[in-house]
Each structure stands twice: as structure tokens, then as C-alpha cells.
């Protein structure tokens, strides 16, 4: 699929993201990090 | 596109976080307080370019995400063991602060009723967020909101500097210091920052205590809305207000705490999650520092600042005495 083909999907995602309350956005960001760490055994340095 | 608009500012936050971490390691100072200081120096020294502003404003999102992730490191057993006592202290101190500010504002210093209510909500619950939430419910004037918010920010800046010093001078334990910061300081960001600057355990207690205090905002908004609706010049409250004002990231925090207590995460995963929230807090605190504009703080009214200072002194010293007895 060309980049143009992905554009509507990307716009839908960003639209839905913007419509979310900031607190729920925080929950999603946290959830995504946990999912990445759990699924890929990601080692985050400190 | 919105993402492209945010990227420069988010990149600046990442850069600030890396710089704060690097400087903290080489200077041997606390990285969270250094991140805030970095933000303060940049915003008051050279200013924030307009194209970075929207990205930097995402710092509250990163703070919320960091708090959600912190749920994975919480010992549910400890929370259940002392949580009841902490929640009672939270309710007692929040109620006391609210009453002290209202009484001083109305009866001693003769401030406008709504300004007093905004200051009371900001001081007793969750800083500027509470000011904004109550302002909507009581139809406060714009300048009253700005005044109350500036007063809260002034004390956020003062307490960020003073609490760690008092904690060290009195050699407070991590539990007492964390709960004390969570129960008596104003905004969530500064509470988390001074908590973790003291110790990891103090940071966790500070955050949990502050979250339970923040959860009271719905009740306070509902109470104020009912009061002002009765006097005929406020919005009619509804039970929906309780959920609308509830800080939703608490749901994510509790979900992760539950998963963690079920043993879902391995030790390595928990360490990675802990590192992730440390980085998120650094991003958030660089952004928080940029909100402390010294010029704005100087414009805070003397009387509202005095009212809030007196209530902070009362709530802070009484809660510390209570915590030293209880823990």
C-alpha cells in the first residue's frame, strides 16, 4: 500500500487520539509501554 | 498534522530529560529537581519558542503515564496495611485546609466568595486542576481563576524547594515524608518530584497519597456546585460531575497495581517499567519547570497568597505531627 493509502487510517487514529481526555491518553501511553516491555522483553536503561 | 506540531516540543523535553539525567549523574544531585530547575532556567532565561510550546505542554500527559506505570511497582500488601489510615489522614487534612482557607478568605481577609472557594479547592485537593474544575462549577470570573491559579503555582514553586530541606533537617522516614508531601502540597507534579527526590519509597507514598486526594475532586466540585446553585448563581450539579472530574489515570494505576500483585510481571519487566516511569517523570518535570514563570508569580496578590500560606502552614504542620504519631 502506498503512503497515500495509509493516510486516512492515520488521520482516523490521530482524530480519535485528540478526542480522548488527557487522562485516558496517559493510560494508553502507559499501557503501550507495558505491552512493549512484556511482549518484546524490552530492556529500558536508566 | 497535529503530531508534527507536537514533535519539536516533545524532542526538546527529551533533550532536557537527557541533560538533567547526565548533569545529575556527574554533579551528584537529584535528577528530578534538576529537571524542574532546567525548565525554570530556560523559560525565565531565554523563553520558550512558540513552535515548541504545544509539544512542551504534553508534560502532563507524560506525568500521568508515569503514574500509571508506577502502579506496577506498588506493594499492594503495604497499601492495604496502612492505606486506611492514610486515606483518613487525606480526608482530614483536605477538609481542614478547605475550611481554613474558606474561613480566612471570607471572614478575616474579606476576599470575594468565589476567589476564596477557588483558593480553598486548589489548596485542599489538587492545585490548578482543582481551581479550573471548581471555577467551571461555580461560574467564577476569569481573573479570579488566573489569580487563584497563580497563587497555587507560587506555592508549588516554594514547596518544591522547601519540603526536601525540611524532610532532610527532620530526618523524616520515607513513609512519613512521602505521605506528608502527598497530603499537604498542592499540585501532583511537585508532589511526585519531591517524593522521588527523597527516596523511591517516599515517591511511591507521595504519589499514592496524592492520587487518593485527587480522587476527592469530584466530591468537592459537586459540593461547591450545589452551594452556588442554591444561592442562585452557579451551574446545577449532577452525579455525573463525580466521574467527569475523577482523575482517570488512577484507573490505569490501579489496573497495573492489580496485575503486578497477581505476579504478571517478571523482575526484569518490573525493572524496565520502573526505568520507563523514571524517564517519563524526567520529561514531565522539565515541562513542569517551564510553567514556573517568575514574572507571573510576582503578580500574585498579596492577600490571597497570605491566606494560602497560613492554611499551608496549619495543614502542613498538623499533618506532619499526626503522621509522626501514626507511623
pLDDT, residue B139, reads 81
Q: Which of A2-6, B33-37, B60-64, B111-115 has the lowest mean pLDDT?
A: A2-6
How far apart are alpha carbons B327 and B83 in whole angstroms? 12
> To probe the interface with A, which of B126, B189, B272, B280 has the most A CB atoms within 10 Å?
B272
A1 vs B179, more confident: B179
Distances (CA, A) of B233 to B129, B133, B156, B224, B230: 22, 16, 31, 12, 8
Model confidence at B124, pLDDT cuts 50, 70, 90, reads: very high
Domain map (residue ranges) of chain A: 3-40
Model confidence at B116, pLDDT cuts 50, 70, 90, reads: very high
pLDDT, residue B300, reads 66
Evaluate the CA torsion angle B249, A45, B57, A9 in order and state its sign. negative
Highest mean pLDDT among B85-89, B124-128, B162-166: B162-166
> To probe the interface with A, which of B57, B214, B248 has the most A CB atoms within 10 Å?
B248
Tell me which residue range forms the domain holding B2.
1-326
pTM for the model: 0.83
How far apart are alpha carbons B253 and B211 in whole angstroms? 10
Are B193 and B223 in contact by the 8 Å Cβ rule? The answer is: no
- Inter-residue long-range contacts of B30-35, CB under 8 Å, 24+ positions, other chains counted: B30/B164, B30/B197, B31/B282, B32/B192, B32/B193, B32/B196, B32/B197, B32/B281, B32/B282, B32/B285, B33/B160, B33/B164, B33/B193, B33/B194, B33/B197, B35/B282, B35/B285, B35/B286, B35/B289
Q: How close B266 comes to chain A (CA, Å)?
A: 9
Are B201 and B175 in contact by the 8 Å Cβ rule? The answer is: yes
Q: Give yes or no for residue B257 having a pLDDT over 90.
A: no
pLDDT, residue B52, reads 94
Evaluate the CA torsion angle B306, B308, B314, B319 in order and state its sign. negative
Span B258-296, pLDDT tens digits: 898 888 999 999 999 999 999 999 999 899 889 888 877
Distances (CA, A) of B90 to B87, B103, B140, B196: 5, 20, 26, 19
Q: Which of B15-29, B211-225, B273-287 has the lowest mean pLDDT?
A: B211-225
Span B24-64, pLDDT tens digits: 999 888 888 889 899 999 999 999 999 999 999 999 899 99
Q: Smallest Cβ distance to B72: which of A18, A21, A34? A: A34
What is the residue-wise DSSP string for A1-46? --HHHHHHHHHHHHHHHHHS-HHHHHHHHHHHHHHHHHHH------
Residue B256 touches partner A, C-beta closer than 8 Å = yes
Q: Which of B57, B131, B60, B133 is nearest to B101 (CA)?
A: B131
Distances (CA, A) of B294 to B47, B150, B188: 12, 10, 20
How many domains is chain B built from?
1
pLDDT, residue B321, reads 95
CB atoms within 10 A of CB B75: 13
Q: Give yes or no for residue A25 having a pLDDT over 70.
A: yes
**Kind plus residue range of the DSSP H or E element containing B299:** none
Are B181 and B191 in contact by the 8 Å Cβ rule? The answer is: yes
Model confidence at B143, pLDDT cuts 50, 70, 90, reads: confident
Q: What is the ipTM for the molecules in this complex? A: 0.87
Within B170-293, residue ranges assigned H as helices are: 174-184, 188-198, 200-214, 217-230, 240-245, 249-261, 267-290
How far apart are alpha carbons B285 and B268 in whole angstroms? 26
pLDDT, residue B49, reads 93
Distances (CA, A) of A35 to A39, B9, B258, B260, B281: 6, 26, 16, 13, 19
**Kind plus residue range of the DSSP H or E element containing B117:** helix B113-121
pLDDT, residue B250, reads 83
Q: Do A29 and B276 touch (CB under 8 A)?
A: no
Grid cell 508531601 is found at B181
Terminal-residue alpha carbon distance, chain A:
38
DSSP state of B73: G
Q: Do A27 and B272 touch (CB under 8 A)?
A: no
Amino acid at each position: 500500500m502506498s503512503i497515500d493509502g495509509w493516510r486516512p487510517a492515520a488521520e482516523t487514529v490521530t482524530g480519535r487520539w485528540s478526542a480522548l481526555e488527557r487522562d485516558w491518553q496517559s493510560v494508553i501511553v502507559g499501557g503501550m509501554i507495558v505491552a512493549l516491555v512484556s511482549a518484546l522483553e524490552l530492556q529500558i536503561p536508566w | 498534522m497535529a503530531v508534527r506540531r507536537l514533535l519539536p516540543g516533545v524532542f526538546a523535553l527529551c533533550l532536557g530529560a537527557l541533560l538533567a539525567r547526565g548533569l545529575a549523574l556527574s554533579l551528584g544531585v537529584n535528577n528530578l529537581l534538576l529537571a524542574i530547575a532546567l525548565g525554570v532556567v530556560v523559560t525565565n532565561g531565554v523563553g520558550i519558542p512558540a513552535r515548541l510550546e504545544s509539544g512542551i505542554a504534553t508534560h502532563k500527559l507524560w506525568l500521568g503515564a508515569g503514574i500509571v506505570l508506577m502502579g506496577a511497582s506498588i506493594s499492594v500488601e503495604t497499601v492495604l496495611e496502612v492505606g486506611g489510615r492514610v486515606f483518613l489522614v487525606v480526608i482530614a487534612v483536605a477538609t481542614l485546609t478547605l475550611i481554613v482557607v474558606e474561613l480566612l478568605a471570607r471572614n478575616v481577609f474579606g476576599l470575594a466568595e468565589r476567589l476564596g472557594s477557588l483558593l480553598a479547592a486548589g489548596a485542599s485537593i489538587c492545585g490548578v486542576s482543582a481551581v479550573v474544575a471548581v471555577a467551571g462549577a461555580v461560574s467564577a470570573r476569569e481573573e479570579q481563576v488566573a489569580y487563584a491559579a497563580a497563587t497555587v503555582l507560587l506555592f508549588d514553586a516554594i514547596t518544591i524547594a522547601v519540603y526536601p530541606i525540611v524532610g532532610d533537617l527532620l530526618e523524616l522516614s520515607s513513609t512519613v515524608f512521602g505521605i506528608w508531601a502527598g497530603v499537604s502540597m498542592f499540585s501532583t507534579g511537585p508532589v511526585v518530584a519531591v517524593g522521588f527526590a527523597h527516596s523511591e519509597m517516599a515517591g511511591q507514598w507521595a504519589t499514592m497519597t496524592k492520587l487518593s486526594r485527587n480522587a476527592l475532586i469530584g466530591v468537592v466540585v459537586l459540593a461547591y456546585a450545589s452551594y452556588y446553585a442554591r444561592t442562585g448563581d452557579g451551574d446545577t450539579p449532577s452525579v455525573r460531575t463525580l466521574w467527569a472530574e475523577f482523575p482517570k489515570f488512577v484507573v490505569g494505576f490501579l489496573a497495573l497495581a492489580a496485575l503486578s500483585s497477581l505476579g504478571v510481571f517478571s523482575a526484569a519487566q518490573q525493572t524496565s517499567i520502573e526505568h520507563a516511569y523514571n524517564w517519563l517523570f524526567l520529561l514531565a518535570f522539565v515541562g513542569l519547570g517551564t510553567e514556573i514563570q517568575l514574572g507571573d508569580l510576582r503578580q500574585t496578590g498579596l492577600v490571597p497568597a497570605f491566606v494560602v500560606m497560613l492554611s499551608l502552614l496549619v495543614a502542613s504542620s498538623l499533618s506532619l505531627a499526626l503522621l509522626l504519631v501514626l507511623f
